[in-house]
Structure 1
Amino acid sequence: MRERGIGFRVLHGALSSVDTTSADGRLFFQIIAAMTEFERSLIRDRTRAGLEAAKAQGRTGGRPSVVDEDVLTVARARKAKGESVSSIAKALGVSRATLSRHLGESA
């Protein structure tokens, strides 16, 4: 974009001296970009550390499962009787994919 003569210039406000068509404006802009990239890396590292600490304490994130042990026991019993996964899922109020995933894990 610089080759085509396109730049960024702040016209009003505290940063009105920023002009990326000049060397000092480009330097300022690059320093700000580097600081924001550094800040984003810190946020990512802190988030990762927090998630790992929570996991070490036995806490997990995400939506709670609708299929608990009671529902799974009923589903297994109905499946053993030969009922289809679709009809079991409809009767228990869960999706067929969710029930299949849980039955597959336990089978």
Structure 2
Amino acid sequence: MTVVGYTRVSTQDQNLHSQTDALTAAGAEQIFTDKMSGEKAARPGLDDCLKYLRADDVLLVYSTDRLGRSMTDLVMIVGELHRRNIQFRSLTEPFDTTTAGGELFFHICAAFAQMNGRIISERTTAGLAAAKARGRVGGRPTVMTPDRIAFAQQMRADGATWQTIAATLQVGSASVLRALTGAPENVPARLT
């Protein structure tokens, strides 16, 4: 079993000393680092760390916010570690999957994160349905105003192509086609 550490600070001018010292004192034999915001999807140090880890190793972090961008992200990472038979420990929180109690605590947190994701999804769906019932739809407003539609209809009646109409109105051909054929905004129009 190898204890492997991972540290991260949000900016280049911050230092990792306090995290690396704590991880080393807790037995980390190898430490991977990143100096970037946790919001960044690409974290090369974390990628290298995850590739380095083997079955029966332990991933050690100073705190969970150094590893995951959110509880959902943390649950996904630790879930993947679990599938690979790799344990996870945080020095400052009660996350320690090497113990039965720590594993139980993690699973409870994972269930809350999953429930929170479902609640957000349900609220979003309900909000969109309520807006739609009031005649509001999401997305950008159409570029095809009633005046532009009337002008485009006249041009089309005079034999202009979709591309010519679009160039004249300085809009996309698909916007013109959808406006004149009545295709819904979320359906890609085909130029024929």
- Under TM normalisation by the shorter chain, which class is it? 0.7 to 0.9
Letter in 1 for 2:90: V
Q: Distance in 1 between matches of 2:142 and 2:155?
A: 20
TM-score, structure 2 as length reference: 0.49
Equivalent position to 1:10, from 60, 79, 90? 90
Q: Distance in 1 between matches of 2:95 and 2:143?
A: 55
Higher strand share: 2
Bigger radius of gyration, 1 or 2?
A: 1
What aligned pairs does 1:1-107 form with structure 2 within 5 A after superposition?
4-5=55-56, 6-11=86-91, 13=92, 15=93, 17-105=94-182
Cα deviation, residue 46, structure 1: 1.4
User: C-alpha offsets along residues 45-68 of structure 1, whole Å, 9 cap, x if unaligned?
Assistant: 112111111222222211000002
Cα deviation, residue 7, structure 1: 0.8
Higher helix share: 1
Query: Runs of 4 or more off by more than 3 Å in structure 1?
Result: none
Cα deviation, residue 25, structure 1: 1.2
TM-score, structure 1 as length reference: 0.83
Return 5+ residue gaps in structure 1 as ranges: none
Secondary structure at the counterpart of residue 8 of structure 1: strand
User: C-alpha offsets along residues 10-58 of structure 1, whole Å, 9 cap, x if unaligned?
Assistant: 12x2x1x431122111111101000111111111111211111122222
Secondary structure at the counterpart of residue 87 of structure 2: coil
Q: Distance in 2 between matches of 1:31 and 1:84?
A: 61
Return 5+ residue gaps in structure 2 as ranges: 1-53, 57-85, 184-192
